[in-house]
């Protein structure tokens, strides 16, 4: 059919002899089936990590920020490093579902659901840190512009930290509705397949009574499109604003106009890496190889390679500008980054973020599952160190040498970080067992155009 | 609508077949009440002659509201209600202080547009928690396409037509 | 205000053991609760009609009641005035003029009293008083919880009347036995007490008074006596000096009682292109050496002969001497001295009679105007010989009673003297003490004496200058003054107050009103010359010197730390946490050793992962006495072959655990020589320092701007292009000062007051009294050694110390050294560095980076130029601290008050009495910093307003500016064009720290000028 025509050159996005019904069955399988041993192991590990984190946070709030490794000169270290790291990871989801939707990239459909889930889960982790890094977290509500008994006691809209409050909350809530709206038809599918009354009830509740009328679909697609249009600048703005935390300051190494694009690229970079990490495992565990194909992974790898290169260029530019500016503080800041007491962190950052993605130029490597998986981990290690380098090495030696110090984390710093990782995987594992991890309704729309069997058929007819 | 309450549910199992069927049915001046599909079938609303949704316009208006609200809020808080000298910034003038407000202006715009639009969508399409689903056949969320037509004492004619258009299943609903 | 209520609660508590308080403290229910009556007898319980349901009702009710009650905040019951004392107006401070005298520090001061509590020490400028860090901190020792709260005999508390009867009996017994009764005191310098002791002699006959200074100036005292016939110390007026040559005399520190910095500073600020030149021969890097124009490293043994050589050079005589490695410098010094005629002075810090004689001789030869032998000083009177005699007598069992006051010999005597053992041979040992220190705890009687803020007294710092000490608060504990005890034991009825008043009226006042004098706190006569100078045989002295001074492989030089002095205030957390101006290390004493020597002995300093400083340990041996496990600090500017060690640490009795730190250097302080031959051996183990500054050089940055007097006087050059370069940037293709451009229209600063703080880096000696003053005024918490080690010190005002390095940009270019090597070598200070001090507090930027980034607008800009911190709005994101280029903001990492983890003065009711009610105590998790003492400026403004007048210039003071004796810190209103600060801000030496960033600070520094002119 003409409406389903797709250039034969394009690789099929759905492998094997699939019908609409098969798709429903495959997507519903993990939800209806029983959890396997592997899942339980993963679950209990992340639960332990999560509880450790909770303990560490309670200790911090109960005793004081002093239980972290911070000091009079280095006022931020792991807390904000983790914050930026998680926000960055979050970006991939929105990017895949929004930007790729605008660009009509069909391959997004296999992965966008999980990518968005990842976004929401990681932004939750991110949001945690600006909270607990406050000395008086019990007054956290003061950062909201809400009327209070003091009448004229308001927030300060000049502060990048306040911009963060707006950016992060908008981002989290918008991604959430975007995600949920997309989920409605798929919940409905699960609801209508469900045999157990309880499951029926739950999915009935979650699906908001979706019925799939023509008009609904019409609005559904419109909303998705507009949301995508809104989310695209939003996702770019979020990390831009996060980068303002540093870019608008006066600290050498922070005060850098290149930060917004550099941070956004870094965010996509780490986000796609995390998506790879998760999906490579998920497609195997929930056997969805037919929908999340090697082709998907390859495309992701290409994005990683490109953004990695952009980040690399940014690093070099920073160094060049520092030298070119002729400002002694600026020059020393970057010299100190690369050769000072934290040279090892800088080296790690460089190797992980700039050199390792270049290997993706080789087709053999970027189509190797194992290799992609390793790189996806390496990249996120590198991106964590990028934030650490930016924050700590800039602070620990700024203007007045009399206040120069060093930083080293305490077990609490580490505990909280591990905790958020645990929390993240905890949420994702629960999601993988209870949510339709593939946007089946959308996938069905491309079955005929990009399904392997249909393509074969059509190509057969052509000659 | 007529007083009679006889309806026919015709199920199809392929979107392309459905599209053709719809065309034929409408040529024969049968009134299609509703079509339930498991996924958006492109060109279907055109075939049914349903006007395109205006949610996008709504979204734009919501966005404008958000933008204006943000301006009002920050002007009131930073300039009018309790101006404070913060880092020597020009707290006495919104315009001079404006660059610092751009990020929030943008975020508020997006916030309003996105959320109000989605809320509108949910209410127009009657979607909310505990809402009962209304698709007559559970398979319509899986792989079946259901066309609902009210019968005006021309049942047999309609039946044969539907069969001809490739309906895999035809049900007469009496109530 | 909560604190007031607390105070009145305390007052009740302070009545030694008030039954009321005891009761309230011990039993929760003051009346007995009739539990037994109710539950006791069975049947009444059985036939009581309380059913299960009732019971449940009760439970329910009580639970609700309890939870409702819990909703209220804590209520502090306070006891109100019954009769309101008319002096005390709540919220209004009274100032009393008094004098501090503890045998080591003597100062005319004003005491700020709020609601009857002394809370702050200010210098009594009328009396020319100055306050150093210790004087500033002494108010906290008043509220020291470890004080001796009642008299003790053999470790059990007794009543005073028992004390009197027992001691009197013993004294009379001894009198009849003809045994010796000896007073062993520190320098009292109190005319009335001296007379009192004489009276006591008359009463008990065989009485001796031995004066013993823990840190002795005996050499100088004896030398002065031999030359001028009476025992005293020469006074110096350095404001007259054009050239000062010092041989190991730390006269900006504690040398001969200190207090010279004010006069000295006057000559250090270039006026009409002139400033004094100061040459320092020394071994340790002292505060004085750090401020010297030229600093020459020499061992004490060399300094001695250098001094003789100088004498020979000047006079042409040829006293027997030796060649030294610094003779060339001596020659130059001689030239310099000659050139400035009678405006020159030579001083010597080595405690040796003969050297002091030669010094005096030199000054006589120079006819120096600087030295004043008429109005000579009385604040060090201890004589080596007398003390040695006493020890001998005690050993021989001649001494029947030893009455010790203002001295702690068991702690301060060298191990060789073995004082504790000798004390056992004395039938009756009485120690008048403020806390149960080493001596008090082993004496038969430990008699609790009041703090000087609770005492009457008089002091004559120098001839013809008299000052009064008056109590500013009722005695907190069951204490008696030394003088009152003597009077009672002499059977006199009168109190010491009556005695003092009578003494002054008859001997000193000569008709002037007592009340008026008491109000002023001092009374001056013009001292009249008593004796003319005796001629002495310098040859003999020189020969002695040749005998005594033999160069050794390692010479140990004792010194006293600016913070700790002789160690009697070791239980004062402010002083323990006060970073040493030179080493910037707190909570410790240590061996300072030169870098080459440390290499030779394989000693090292290194930083651990969080930057904190660690160091090796050594054992020191001074003729057979071993001091174990002394930490080593590698000190730039330490003379090779010498090591330094601070006295006053290693206290072990009558104080808090945290403060019992360091090693007791007194144990090596043999026969009062502040230099000793020492042998050093490295031992295993690593010491953990609490150092607040981990990086020592300026890294070639324009932080402290320096120039030489010659360049400064060169009128042909434009300062802003050369030695006071302002950063320029291109604006519309024109180069303009970076600070002149702004993104937006500025706020109007011309209306009302606009405060500026000016800091003259030439006048600042780094003495740090401002640091403690700030601590006291603003309730800055003490965080303890561990937290300081974590770089979390809370000081609002710090004094950065920078060493010069052998490497700089210029050298690097010439020698074509790579940028990496350049910076690496820049981090290493020279072996004899030039030192510069820079007090840094909040710069109160008009375009403050900290303000813009606070999400909750907790830090904003005041209309008077202050950068204001709203503690109760702060949520503690620490963004402001990160974004502060000066790193002056301090975060409350923990709860520092009422927290046993930080068991310092803020952890007990008594210690909290020192808190300033005008400044809030910050809670956990908020940021804090210098407020430019807004509470003080606001007060001045309101007072002026009430009196309907304009605020006078000198009325505006911050804690640091009023504490600064060298007048380096000047505070005021720049909108008042006549004010001193307004002029200073316009001065050609004025510059803003890091002006390139465009923060536009309200704190202005003045370029440091070094006098390198050699004539």
- ∠ CA C702-C705-C709 to the nearest 5 degrees? 150
- H-state helical runs in C509-553: 514-520, 538-548
Residue in chain A nearest B112 by alpha carbon = A170
Q: Which residues contact A304 (CB under 8 A, 6 or more apart)?
A: A269, A272, A273, A276, A357, A360, A375, A376, A379
Do the beta carbons of residue C345 and residue C568 sit within 8 Å? no
The alpha helices in C340-397, defined as continuous H runs, are 353-366, 384-396
| Residue among C846, C854, C862 minimizing CB distance to B88 | C846
Contact A105, C933 (CB under 8 A): no
Given a cut of 90, is residue B175 above it in pLDDT? no
- Model confidence at C594: pLDDT above 70: yes
Quickly count: other Cβ atoms within 10 Å of residue C912's Cβ: 19
C50: how many CB neighbours lie within 10 A of its CB?
10
Angle at CA C653, nearest 5°, toward C648 and C655? 85
Q: How are beta strands C591-593 and C585-586 bridged, if at all?
A: unpaired
- Find the mean pLDDT for residues C523-550: 83
How would you class A61 by CB atoms within 10 Å of its CB: exposed for 0-12, middle for 13-18, buried for 19 or more? middle
Asked if the Cβ–Cβ distance from B127 to A210 is below 8 Å, we say: yes
Task: Report yes or no: C197 and C170 within 8 Å, Cβ to Cβ.
Answer: no
B43, B122, B132 ranked by CB distance to A3: nearest: B43
Q: What pLDDT, on a 0 to 100 scale, did the predictor assign at position C64?
A: 76
HSE, side-chain direction, 13 A CA sphere, residue B4? 12
The pLDDT, as a whole number, for residue A461 is: 59
Contact C477, C448 (CB under 8 A): yes
pLDDT of residue C143: 93
Above 60 in pLDDT, residue C592?
A: yes
Contact C851 B86 (CB under 8 A): yes
Query: Which of C744, C865, C870 is best to mutate for the B interface (most B CBs within 10 A)?
Result: C744
pLDDT given for residue A446 in this prediction: 82
Per-residue confidence band for C40, with pLDDT thresholds at 50, 70 and 90: low
Q: Using CA atoms, how far apart are residues A190 and C568, in angstroms rounded to an integer? A: 81
Report angle CA C516, C522, C525 to the nearest 5 degrees: 105
Separation in Å, CA A350 to CA A158, A317, C711: 34, 14, 48
Indicate the helix (H) or strand (E) that contains C580.
Answer: none
Closest CA–CA distance from residue B163 to any residue of chain A (Å): 22
**Closest to C302 in 3D by CA, of C542, C552, C644, C559:** C552
**CB of C123 within 8 A of CB of C130?**
yes
Inter-residue contact A298 to A371 (CB < 8 Å): no
What does the pLDDT read at residue C765?
92
Q: Cα(C22)–Cα(B56) distance, rounded to whole angstroms?
A: 78
Which residues from A are below 8 Å from C893, CB to CB?
64-66, 70
CA distance A181 to A175: 10
- Say how far apart CA C337 and CA C323 lie, in whole Å: 20
Q: Is A373 helix (H, G, I), strand (E, B) or coil?
A: helix
Q: Within 13 Å of residue C117, how many CA atoms lie on the same side as its CB?
A: 26
Chain B touching partners, 3 or more CB pairs below 8 A: A, C
Q: Is A422 exposed, middle or buried (CB count within 10 Å of its CB: 0-12, 13-18, 19+)?
A: buried
CB contact under 8 A, B87 and C861: yes
Lowest-confidence range among A3-17, A241-255, C267-281, C314-328? A3-17
Query: Strands C675-677 and C605-607, how do they pair?
Result: unpaired
Q: What is the pLDDT of residues C921-975, one digit of tens each?
A: 999 999 999 999 999 999 999 999 999 999 988 899 999 999 999 999 999 999 9
Tokens of C745: 């229209």
pLDDT band at C48 (very low <50, low <70, confident <90, very high): low
Cα dihedral A83→A89→A94→A100 (10° resolution) = 150
| pLDDT tens digit sequence for C683-724 | 999 999 999 999 999 998 989 999 999 999 888 998 888 899
DSSP at A8: T
pTM summary value: 0.89
pLDDT at B2: 46
**Which residues of chain C make contact with A71, given a CB cutoff of 8 A?**
610-611, 790-792
Q: Which residue of C has its CA nearest to B97?
A: C744
Question: Residues C80, C81, C82, CA angle at the centre, nearest 5°?
Answer: 115
> What tens digit of pLDDT does each residue of C493-518 get?
899 999 999 999 998 888 888 889 99
Best residue in B86, B87, B93 to probe C by mutation, most C CBs within 10 Å? B87
Q: Which residues contact A347 (CB under 8 A, 6 or more apart)?
A: none
The answer to whether residue C222 scores a pLDDT higher than 50 is yes
CB contact under 8 A, A215 and B111: no
pLDDT tens by residue, A122-146: 999 999 999 999 999 999 999 999 8
> C27: helix, coil or strand?
coil
Please name the chains neighbouring A, where neighbouring means 3+ C-beta pairs under 8 angstroms.
Answer: B, C
pLDDT at B114 over 90: yes
What's the CA gap between B147 and A229, in Å, rounded? Answer: 33
Q: What is the 3-state secondary structure (H, E, C) of C921-985?
A: CCCCCCEECCCCCHHHHHHHHHHHHHCCCCCCHHHCCCHHHHHCCCCCEEEEECCCCCCHHHHHH
Q: Which residues contact A212 (CB under 8 A, 6 or more apart)?
A: A185, A188, B36, B37, B38, B135, B140, B141
Structure tokens at C227: 């030359």
Least confident of A293-297, A455-459, C38-42, C61-65: C38-42
Give chain C's mean pLDDT: 88
Bridge-based pairing of strands C613-622 and C679-688 is antiparallel
Evaluate whether C308 touches C319 at the Cβ level (below 8 Å).
Answer: yes
pLDDT digits (tens, 9 = 90+) for C129-162: 899 999 999 999 999 999 999 999 988 899 999 9
The 8 Å CB, 24+ separation contacts for B93-98 are: B96/C744, B96/C745, B97/A158, B97/C744
User: Which pLDDT belongs to residue C1?
Assistant: 42
Name the DSSP class of A168.
Answer: H
Q: Name the percent of chain C lying above pLDDT 70.
A: 93
Q: How far is C621 from chain A (nearest CA, A)?
A: 35
CA–CA min distance C744, chain B (Å): 7
Q: Six-digit token pair at C263?
A: 């006069």
HSE of C69, CA atoms in CB hemisphere, 13 A: 7
User: What is the rounded CA–CA span in Å between residue C977 and residue C986?
Assistant: 11
Q: Which of A66-70, C26-30, C665-669 has the weakest average pLDDT?
A: C26-30
In this structure, the number of other CB atoms found within 10 A of the CB of residue A25 comes to 16
In DSSP notation, C447-484 reads EE---GGG--EEE-SBTTEEEEE--SS--SSS---HHH
Q: Which residue has the tokens 């030295």?
A: C371
Q: Name the range with the highest mean pLDDT among A292-296, B107-111, C213-217, C337-341.
A: B107-111
Query: Which structure tokens are listed for C127?
Result: 């009396």
B131 close to A (CB below 8 A): yes
Low-confidence ranges of chain A (pLDDT < 50): 1-2, 463
pLDDT above 80 for C80: no
Q: What are phi and psi of C467, to 5 degrees?
A: -140, 155
In whole angstroms, how large is the CA radius of gyration of chain B? Answer: 26
Band the pLDDT of C176: cuts 50, 70, 90: confident
- Please tell me the predicted confidence (pLDDT) of residue C73: 56
Within 8 A by CB and 6+ apart from A118, the residues are A89, A90, A92, A93, A271, A274, A275, A278, A428
Interface B-C: count of C-beta contacts within 8 A: 39
Residue pair C914/C121 in contact (Cβ under 8 Å)? The answer is no
- CB neighbour list of residue A400: distance below 8 Å, 6 or more residues apart: C703, C800, C840, C885, C886, C887, C994
The residues pairing with C735 across neighbouring beta strands, listed in sequence order, are C730
Tallying the residues shown for chain C, one arrives at 1015
Q: Which pLDDT score, from 0 to 100, does residue C552 have?
A: 87
By C-alpha distance, which of A392, A411, A405 is closest to C793? Answer: A405
Which among C694, C700, C852 has CB closest to A159? Answer: C852
CA–CA gap between residue C444 and residue C423 (Å, rounded): 10
pLDDT at C58: 80
Q: Do the bridges between strand C106-114 and strand C117-123 make them parallel or antiparallel, or are there none, so unpaired? A: antiparallel
Cβ neighbors of C807 (< 8 A, separation 6 or more) are: C817, C822, C825, C826, C828
Q: Which chains touch C (3 or more CB pairs under 8 A)?
A: A, B
**pLDDT by residue (tens digit) across C768-804?**
999 999 999 999 999 999 999 999 999 999 999 999 9
Q: Is the pLDDT of residue C68 over 50?
A: yes
Q: From chain B, pick out residues whose CB is under 8 angstroms from the CB of A442.
A: 39
Distances (CA, A) of B122 to A374, A402, B50, B117, C949: 42, 60, 19, 9, 71
CB atoms A208 and B131 under 8 Å: yes
Q: How confident is the model at residue B1 (pLDDT cuts 50, 70, 90)?
A: very low
């Amino acid at each position: 059919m003409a409406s389903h025509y797709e250039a034969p050159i394009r690789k099929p996005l759905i492998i094997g002899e699939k019908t609409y019904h098969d798709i429903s069955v495959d997507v519903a399988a993990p939800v209806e089936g029983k959890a396997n041993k592997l899942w339980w192991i993963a679950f209990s590990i992340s639960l332990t990590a999560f509880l450790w984190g909770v303990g560490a946070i309670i200790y911090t709030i109960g005793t004081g920020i002093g239980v972290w490794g911070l000091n009079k000169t280095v006022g931020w270290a792991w807390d904000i490093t983790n914050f930026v790291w998680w926000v960055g990871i979050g970006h991939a989801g929105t990017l895949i579902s929004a930007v790729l939707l605008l660009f009509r990239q069909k391959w997004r459909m296999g992965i966008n659901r999980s990518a968005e889930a990842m976004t929401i889960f990681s932004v939750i982790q991110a949001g945690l840190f600006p909270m607990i890094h406050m000395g008086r977290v019990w007054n956290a509500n003061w950062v909201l512009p809400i009327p209070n008994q003091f009448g004229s006691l308001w927030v300060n809209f000049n502060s990048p930290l306040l911009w963060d409050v707006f950016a992060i909350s908008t981002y989290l809530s918008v991604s959430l509705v975007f995600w949920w709206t997309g989920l409605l038809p798929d919940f409905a599918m699960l609801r209508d397949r469900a045999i157990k009354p309880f499951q029926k009830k739950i999915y009935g509740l979650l699906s908001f009574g979706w019925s799939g009328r023509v008009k609904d679909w019409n609005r559904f697609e419109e909303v998705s499109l507009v949301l995508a249009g809104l989310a695209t600048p939003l996702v770019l703005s979020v990390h831009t604003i996060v980068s303002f935390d540093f870019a608008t300051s006066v600290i050498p190494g922070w005060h850098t106009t290149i930060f917004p694009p550099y941070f956004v690229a870094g965010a996509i970079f780490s986000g796609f890496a995390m998506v790879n990490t998760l999906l490579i495992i998920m497609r195997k565990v929930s056997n969805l190889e037919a929908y999340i194909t090697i082709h998907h992974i390859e495309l992701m790898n290409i994005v990683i390679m490109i953004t990695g290169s952009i980040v690399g260029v940014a690093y070099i530019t920073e160094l060049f500008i520092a030298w070119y500016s002729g400002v002694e503080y600026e020059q020393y800041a970057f010299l100190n980054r690369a050769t000072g007491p934290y040279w090892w962190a800088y080296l790690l950052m460089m190797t992980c973020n700039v050199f390792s993605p270049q290997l993706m130029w080789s087709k053999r490597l970027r189509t190797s599952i194992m290799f992609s998986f390793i790189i996806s981990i390496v990249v996120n290690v590198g991106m964590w160190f990028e934030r650490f380098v930016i924050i700590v090495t800039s602070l620990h030696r700024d203007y007045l040498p009399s206040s120069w110090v060093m930083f080293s984390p305490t077990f609490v710093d580490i505990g909280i970080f591990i905790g958020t990782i645990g929390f993240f995987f905890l949420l994702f594992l629960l999601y993988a067992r209870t949510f339709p991890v593939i946007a089946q309704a959308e996938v069905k729309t491309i079955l005929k155009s990009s399904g392997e069997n249909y393509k074969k058929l059509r190509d057969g007819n052509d000659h | 609508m007529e007083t009679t309450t006889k309806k026919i549910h015709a199920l199809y199992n392929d979107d392309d077949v459905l599209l053709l069927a719809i065309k034929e049915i409408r040529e024969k001046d049968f009134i299609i009440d509703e079509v339930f599909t498991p996924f958006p079938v492109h060109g279907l609303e055109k075939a049914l002659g349903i006007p395109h949704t205006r949610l996008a316009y709504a979204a734009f208006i919501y966005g404008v509201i958000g933008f204006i609200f943000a301006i009002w809020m920050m002007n009131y808080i930073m300039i009018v209600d309790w101006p404070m000298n913060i880092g020597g910034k020009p707290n006495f003038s919104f315009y001079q202080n404006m660059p610092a407000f751009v990020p929030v202006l943008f975020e508020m715009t997006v916030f309003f547009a996105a959320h109000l639009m989605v809320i509108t969508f949910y209410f127009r399409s009657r979607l909310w928690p505990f809402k009962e689903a209304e698709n007559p056949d559970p398979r319509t969320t899986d792989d079946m396409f259901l066309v609902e037509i009210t019968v005006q004492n021309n049942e047999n004619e309609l039946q044969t037509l539907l069969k001809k258009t490739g309906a895999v299943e035809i049900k007469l609903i009496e109530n | 205000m909560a604190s007031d209520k607390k105070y009145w609660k305390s007052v009740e508590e302070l009545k030694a053991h008030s039954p009321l308080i005891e009761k309230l403290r011990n039993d929760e229910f003051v009346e007995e609760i009739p539990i037994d009556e109710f539950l006791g007898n069975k049947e009444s319980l059985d036939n009581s009609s309380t059913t299960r349901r009732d019971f449940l009702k009760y439970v329910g009710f009580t639970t609700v009641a309890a939870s409702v009650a819990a909703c209220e905040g804590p209520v502090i019951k306070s006891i109100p005035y019954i009769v309101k004392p008319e002096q005390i107006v709540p919220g209004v401070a009274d100032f009393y003029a008094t004098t501090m005298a503890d045998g080591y520090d003597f100062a005319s001061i004003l005491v700020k009293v709020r609601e009857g509590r002394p809370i702050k020490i200010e210098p009594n400028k009328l009396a020319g008083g100055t306050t150093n860090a210790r004087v500033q901190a002494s108010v906290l020792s008043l509220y020291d919880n470890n004080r001796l709260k009642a008299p003790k005999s053999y470790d059990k508390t007794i009543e005073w009347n028992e004390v009197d009867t027992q001691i009197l009996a013993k004294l009379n017994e001894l009198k009849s036995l003809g045994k010796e009764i000896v007073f062993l005191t520190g320098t009292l310098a109190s005319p009335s007490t001296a007379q009192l002791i004489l009276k006591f002699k008359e009463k008990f006959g065989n009485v001796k008074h031995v004066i013993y200074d823990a840190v002795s100036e005996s050499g100088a005292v004896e030398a002065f006596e031999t030359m001028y016939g009476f025992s005293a110390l020469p006074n110096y007026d350095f404001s007259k000096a054009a050239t000062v040559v010092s041989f190991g005399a730390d006269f900006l520190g504690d040398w001969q009682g200190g207090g010279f910095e004010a006069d000295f500073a006057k000559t250090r600020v270039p006026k009409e292109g002139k400033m004094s030149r100061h040459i320092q021969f020394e071994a340790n890097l002292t505060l004085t050496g750090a401020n010297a124009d030229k600093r020459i490293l020499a061992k004490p043994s060399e300094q001695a002969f250098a001094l003789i050589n100088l004498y020979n050079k000047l006079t042409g005589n040829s006293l027997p001497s030796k060649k030294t490695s610094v003779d060339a410098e001596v020659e130059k010094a001689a030239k310099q001295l000659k050139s400035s005629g009678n405006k020159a002075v030579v001083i010597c810090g080595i405690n040796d009679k003969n050297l002091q004689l030669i010094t005096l001789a030199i000054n006589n030869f120079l006819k120096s105007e600087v030295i004043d032998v008429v109005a000579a000083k009385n604040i060090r009177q201890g004589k080596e010989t007398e003390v040695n005699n006493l020890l001998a007598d005690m050993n021989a069992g001649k001494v029947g009673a030893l009455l010790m006051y203002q001295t702690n010999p068991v702690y301060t005597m060298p191990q060789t003297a073995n004082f504790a053992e000798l004390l056992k041979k004395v039938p009756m040992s009485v120690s008048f003490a403020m806390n149960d220190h080493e001596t008090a705890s082993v004496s038969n009687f430990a008699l609790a004496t009041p703090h000087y803020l609770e005492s009457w007294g008089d002091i004559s710092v120098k001839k013809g200058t008299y000052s009064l000490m008056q109590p500013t608060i009722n005695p907190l504990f069951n204490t008696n003054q030394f003088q009152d005890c003597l009077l009672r034991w002499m059977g006199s009825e009168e109190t010491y107050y009556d005695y003092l008043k009578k003494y002054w009226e008859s001997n000193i006042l000569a008709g002037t009103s007592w009340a008026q004098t008491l109000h002023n706190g001092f009374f001056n006569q013009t001292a009249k010359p008593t004796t003319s100078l005796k001629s002495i045989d310098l040859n003999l002295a020189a020969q002695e010197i040749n005998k005594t001074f033999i160069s050794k492989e390692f010479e140990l030089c004792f010194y006293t730390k600016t913070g700790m002095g002789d160690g009697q205030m070791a239980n004062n957390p402010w002083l323990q946490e006060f970073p040493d101006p030179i080493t910037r290390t707190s909570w410790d004493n240590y061996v300072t050793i030169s870098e080459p020597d440390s290499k030779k002995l394989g000693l090292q300093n290194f930083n651990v992962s969080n930057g904190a400083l660690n160091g090796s340990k050594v054992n020191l041996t001074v003729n057979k006495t071993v001091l174990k496990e002394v930490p080593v600090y590698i000190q730039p500017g330490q003379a090779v072959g010498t090591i330094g060690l601070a006295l006053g640490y290693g206290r072990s009795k009558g104080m808090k655990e945290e403060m019992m730190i360091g090693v007791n250097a007194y144990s090596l302080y043999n026969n009062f020589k502040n230099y000793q031959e020492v042998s050093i051996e490295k031992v295993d183990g690593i010491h953990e320092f609490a150092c607040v500054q981990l990086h020592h050089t300026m890294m070639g940055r324009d932080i402290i701007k320096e120039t030489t007097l010659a360049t400064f006087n060169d009128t042909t050059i434009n300062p802003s292009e050369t030695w006071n370069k302002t950063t320029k940037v291109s604006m519309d293709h024109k180069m303009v000062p970076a600070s002149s451009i702004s993104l937006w229209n500025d706020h109007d600063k011309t209306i009302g007051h606009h405060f500026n703080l000016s800091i003259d880096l030439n006048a600042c000696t780094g003495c740090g009294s401002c640091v403690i003053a700030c601590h006291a005024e603003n309730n800055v918490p003490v965080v303890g050694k561990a937290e300081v080690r974590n770089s979390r010190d809370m000081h609002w005002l710090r004094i950065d110390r920078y060493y010069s390095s052998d490497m700089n940009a210029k050298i690097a270019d010439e020698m074509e050294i790579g940028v990496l090597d350049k910076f690496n070598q820049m981090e290493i200070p020279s072996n004899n560095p030039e030192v510069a001090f820079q007090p840094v507090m909040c710069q109160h930027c008009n375009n403050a980076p900290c303000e813009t980034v606070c999400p909750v607008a907790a830090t904003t800009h005041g209309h008077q130029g202050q950068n204001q911190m709203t503690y109760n709005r702060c949520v503690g994101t620490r963004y402001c601290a990160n974004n502060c280029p000066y790193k002056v903001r301090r975060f409350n990492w923990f709860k520092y008050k009422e927290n046993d983890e930080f068991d310092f003065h803020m952890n007990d009711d008594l210690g909290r009495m020192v808190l300033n009610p005008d400044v809030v105590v910050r809670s956990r998790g908020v940021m804090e910093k210098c407020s430019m003492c807004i509470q003080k400026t606001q007060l001045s403004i309101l007072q002026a307003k009430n009196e309907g007048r304009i605020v006078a210039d000198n009325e505006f003071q911050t804690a640091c500016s009023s504490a600064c004796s060298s007048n380096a810190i000047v505070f005021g209103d720049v909108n008042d064009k006549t004010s001193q600060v307004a002029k200073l801000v316009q001065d050609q030496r004025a510059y803003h720290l890091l002006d390139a960033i465009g923060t536009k600070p309200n704190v202005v520094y003045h370029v440091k000028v070094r006098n390198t002119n050699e004539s």
